[in-house]
Structure 1
Amino acid sequence: MQEFDIVVIGSGPAGEGAAMMAAKNHRRVALVERSVEIGGGCTHWGTIPSKALRHAVKTLSDLRHNPLTRNYYNANPPEYPQLLSSADKVVESQIASRRRYYERNRVPVFEGSASFLDANRIEVRGESAAPEILKAAHFVIASGSRPYHPPDLDFTHPRVKDSDSILRYGHHPFSVTIFGAGVIGCEYASIFVNLGAKVTLVNTQDRLLSFLDEEIAEALSYHLREQGCLIRHQEEYERVEPRERDVVLHLKSGRRIKSDVLLWANGRTGNSDGMGLAELGIALNSRGQVLVDDCYRTALPHIYAVGDVIGPPALASAASVQGRFATQHILDPSVQPQPLEMIPSGIYTIPEISSVGRTERDLHAARVPYEVGHAAFKSLARAQMTGETVGMLKLLFHSETLQVLGVHCFGDRASEIVHIGQTVMADPATNSIRYFINTTFNYPTMAEAYRVAAHNGLNRLA
């Protein structure tokens, strides 16, 4: 048996954040990872490969629409399996980098599945080595999540996929049905429709991504339809009929949708099974997500849980913050968690969406006096040069104090552009819509959208 101050279970962004924070503070920390390679779902079958695929598809879409390159594209159109391979080098590089982090910080990595023997000991069982028993004063569970599988759906059928297995699909689909129009469903709808597939996106709600600012969500819906995606709102799943040459999705409305492949993207399940958590008295919800308090402590206060295994917001960036905070709280229980509302969301559709802060709906409900500033990308010189004229930047600010309350961006590089607004919002000394007018931006850049939007908003004030 080996003893440590902290044992972290899972090597995704949450686990890495927790382990590195412990190592930098000179604590004896060990990491447990059940996969052969570290990095978690984010690196191997989630964020990294799907975003690399998205980038490859976006590049091809640009070639297809550019008059200088469209003839080359039409003569040599790559297929889906070729595009998937574009992620291989990125994944390999990420694994190598992360392994070096643990080596340089002298954090031992134990390969295998972890299960609690009691409140202070876990057993790690790998496929080849003998079981290891690790004892620690504190544990951080960062085991991630996986796609939810309804019990009546046969995911072994080659035409029924989830968001993990679709990245191993070996054919070029002519038509794709996506059930579930959350972030993952919308991202894959963008990918496949820009790949030239006939895409039907089935949504159980009355509109896409209801947590977004309504104007941004409507813009996404419009552009998905413009690209050729058919969106079906307020539909309920009844059954799936996989066949040899296609698959049919039966909906409770009576509608039947036939396609080459069905991508199930409706919810996720926490990777908490087999760890013996219930036996310790640690509560789980119906989706296997661990219940925690505001400081990410479970029912046993020396055992923390962070990242996707606790549910929303289920962002890699948020998971890393949660992991670091869990270790900080172990070291100093007086520290307070970082407000998650200041963590930007990034949705990698084509075009991208990113936002931070409050929406118009939030401000209206709270009766906060606010005004709106817009900048249409089509009016920016940089966007005209690159041809990325679809999209806008939207700033929400207090109409009396001029404090920036929300930043919402739809368009190319939105996930990068949003950080300028995030930085201003985070500092009370600079948080004013006038900051964007008094600051000099390079020209031509996409960043000058902030200056345009700020002028637009101030011009609206009475």
Structure 2
Amino acid sequence: MTSVVIIGGGPGGYEAALVANQLGAQVTVIDRDGLGGSAVLTDCVPSKTLIATAEVMTDMAAAPELGIHFRDSEGDTATNVVADLAQVNARVKLLAAAQSADIEGRLTRRGIRIIKGTGRLGSGAGRGGGDVIATLASGAEETVHADAVLIATGAHPRVLATAQPDGERILTWEQVYGLTETPTHMIVVGSGVTGAEFASAYLALGIEVTLVSSRDRVLPGEDADAAGVLQDVLERRGMNILSQSRMQGVTRDGDTVTVTLSDGRTVTGSHCILALGSVPNTEGLGLEEAGVKLDDGGFILIDKVSRTTAPGVYAAGDCVGGFMLASTAAMAGRIAMRHFLGDGVQPMDLKQIASNVFTSPEIATVGWSQAAVDNGEVQAEVVKLDLQGNPRAKMQGIKDGFVKLIARPGSGVVIGGVVVGPRASELIHPISLAVAANLTVDQVANTFTVYPSLSGSIAEAARRLHQVG
């Protein structure tokens, strides 16, 4: 029986394990922290659970506009809605642990062996078959033969010598769920996806937030129109955004945290979250000895079917960089196993990856971007339709957001799109289907939508891109 060893039990690892098992391989997963990896235990699932609470708080803030008022038993109007952060974080950790246990149970029921420990490539690895060495918590070692190995070891938060987390008031995004007291002023350093999501969430929970951004706007890597809407909303809700402000260091004095900027300015608060990017977990795995090449940042180099430069060694997930998404990791892991085990496989197409920023409002994107159109990388026509004209949006009190479609001139084939608004993560799916299936704007426009619905704006944007003649 063909043997597969997977190092790392995150989305890239456990999804690969399920596929390899389905295809008849003998599968061993070596996992250190718990099935589901950081996506389930310290990153995606926890952060989105926290954000779910923040969404309810945002909805409640808008309730009076819809005719909903909160009154106590005496008939007086309630003036404050508060979130119990200790209870919120307890729920976050409970759900994360339950999800991890569900994944472990699923693998165990399928007969997949799970070794709790760390793994590294051993003798013969990278030559089309070899050994993987598992180091257990006790320090004991076990050698497992593998015809193929998948590296899915993930990444960890980047920190600086001048900004060291203490796990109490200076925090990485993995440490925030230990908070039991509500911060009075949260300083978030970094305006990428992680920083923007936490800044938006804590603001919605009623906490004063300052966002320190080294760039000229929030979310510099996202659609400029979308980022502009989000920044306007966050500032309107009271967030202090310090643009073009690079952090020099972070210090703590008792209950006060001070962030020093490179121009000498300082910002003080009760807590600070460092959202400075990720470092791949690729050290100590025996990669170089096996012939696995890394880029300058330490990320593993792979091709479109997840192969590394060493025969029989594949990689998936955050340890390879690129789109650091749970969905991308899972797809790359599945592709790796299908390729190795001879099943039908379609190489990953980066232009079909849908991603979402879970801020309020959400920002979802897929395919070619507006920036690529503007700089001449691709020829396309673009239509942007604000949601404030959508009847369902009016009913729900939605004032911010839009739908943007990007299509090739002449053929009208949809090659990209952006959605900004509540539940954009759900609304992007029909656009993703159009991109993946090479649908034209006319095909999208001529598909029935429910009236009234936010998805009606997608069809309307498609109608505006109709090719006459």
Give the TM-score category using the shorter length. over 0.9
Q: Which residue of 2 aligns with 1:90?
A: 95
**Structure 2 Cα separation of the partners of residues 349 and 265 of structure 1:** 15
Q: Which residue of 2 aligns with 1:454?
A: 462
**Structure 2 Cα separation of the partners of residues 95 and 369 of structure 1:** 45
CA contact under 8 A between 1:39 and 1:98: conserved in structure 2? yes
Secondary structure class of the residue paired with 2:428? helix
Secondary structure class of the residue paired with 1:434? helix
Name the aligned partner's letter for residue 48 of structure 1: V
Task: Choose the corresponding residue for 2:62, options 48, 65, 88.
Answer: 65
Q: How does 1:196-207 map to 2 (within 5 A)?
A: 196-207=206-217
**Structure 2 Cα separation of the partners of residues 284 and 149 of structure 1:** 21
Inter-CA distance 440–157: structure 2 relative to 1 (3 Å threshold): closer
**Structure 2 Cα separation of the partners of residues 82 and 129 of structure 1:** 37
Deviations 1:222-265 (A, max 9, x none): 11211212222222222222110211111111211111111110
Are positions 1:80 and 2:85 aligned together?
Answer: yes
CA contact under 8 A between 2:16 and 2:333: conserved in structure 1? yes
**Structure 1 Cα separation of the partners of residues 167 and 50 of structure 2:** 23
Q: Which residue of 1 aligns with 2:24?
A: 26
CA contact under 8 A between 1:63 and 1:69: conserved in structure 2? no
Are positions 1:438 and 2:441 aligned together?
Answer: no
Deviations 1:157-216 (A, max 9, x none): 621100100122222011111111111001011011111222111112233323322211
Are positions 1:124 and 2:134 aligned together?
Answer: yes
**Structure 2 Cα separation of the partners of residues 458 and 213 of structure 1:** 23
**Structure 1 Cα separation of the partners of residues 297 and 161 of structure 2:** 13
**Structure 1 Cα separation of the partners of residues 192 and 225 of structure 2:** 17
Report which stretch shifted further, 58-67 or 217-226: 58-67
Inter-CA distance 177–383: structure 2 relative to 1 (3 Å threshold): same
CA contact under 8 A between 1:373 and 1:458: conserved in structure 2? no
Q: How does 1:15-414 map to 2 (within 5 A)?
A: 15-35=13-33, 37-67=34-64, 68-71=68-71, 74=79, 77-118=82-123, 119=125, 120-128=130-138, 130-156=140-166, 158-285=168-295, 287-332=297-342, 335-366=345-376, 368-414=378-424
Unaligned runs of 5+ in 1: none
Q: Which residue of 2 aligns with 1:11?
A: 9
Inter-CA distance 157–322: structure 2 relative to 1 (3 Å threshold): closer
Name the aligned partner's letter for residue 448 of structure 1: G
CA contact under 8 A between 1:307 and 1:320: conserved in structure 2? yes
> What is the TM-score normalised by the length of structure 2?
0.91
Name the aligned partner's letter for residue 309 of structure 1: C
Name the aligned partner's letter for residue 13 of structure 1: P
**Structure 1 Cα separation of the partners of residues 401 and 347 of structure 2:** 34
CA contact under 8 A between 2:257 and 2:271: conserved in structure 1? yes
CA contact under 8 A between 1:56 and 1:86: conserved in structure 2? no
Deviations 1:289-333 (A, max 9, x none): 223334332231211111001112101111111111111221239
CA contact under 8 A between 1:124 and 1:131: conserved in structure 2? yes
CA contact under 8 A between 2:299 and 2:320: conserved in structure 1? yes
Inter-CA distance 420–264: structure 2 relative to 1 (3 Å threshold): same
| Aligned-residue identity in percent | 28
RMSD: 2.3
The number of residues matched between the two structures is: 456
Runs (4 or more) in structure 1 with deviation over 6 Å come to none
> What is the TM-score normalised by the length of structure 1?
0.92
CA contact under 8 A between 2:293 and 2:300: conserved in structure 1? yes
**Structure 2 Cα separation of the partners of residues 453 and 162 of structure 1:** 40
Task: Note the C-alpha offset of 1:365.
Answer: 2.5
Deviations 1:16-47 (A, max 9, x none): 22111111111111111112x31111111110
Report which stretch shifted further, 218-227 or 151-160: 151-160
Name the aligned partner's letter for residue 49 of structure 2: A
**Structure 1 Cα separation of the partners of residues 397 and 101 of structure 2:** 36
**Structure 2 Cα separation of the partners of residues 349 and 275 of structure 1:** 36
Inter-CA distance 110–74: structure 2 relative to 1 (3 Å threshold): farther
Report which stretch shifted further, 112-121 or 135-144: 112-121
Unaligned runs of 5+ in 2: 73-77
Report which stretch shifted further, 270-279 or 416-425: 270-279
CA contact under 8 A between 2:92 and 2:177: conserved in structure 1? no
Inter-CA distance 157–413: structure 2 relative to 1 (3 Å threshold): closer
CA contact under 8 A between 2:306 and 2:315: conserved in structure 1? yes
**Structure 2 Cα separation of the partners of residues 262 and 377 of structure 1:** 34
**Structure 2 Cα separation of the partners of residues 367 and 264 of structure 1:** 34
Name the aligned partner's letter for residue 66 of structure 1: A
CA contact under 8 A between 1:292 and 1:310: conserved in structure 2? yes
Task: Note the C-alpha offset of 1:71.
Answer: 4.6
Name the aligned partner's letter for residue 101 of structure 2: A
Name the aligned partner's letter for residue 59 of structure 1: V
Task: Note the C-alpha offset of 1:69.
Answer: 4.6
CA contact under 8 A between 1:198 and 1:229: conserved in structure 2? yes
Q: Which residue of 1 aligns with 2:425?
A: 415
Inter-CA distance 213–242: structure 2 relative to 1 (3 Å threshold): same
CA contact under 8 A between 1:375 and 1:456: conserved in structure 2? no
Task: Note the C-alpha offset of 1:341.
Answer: 1.4
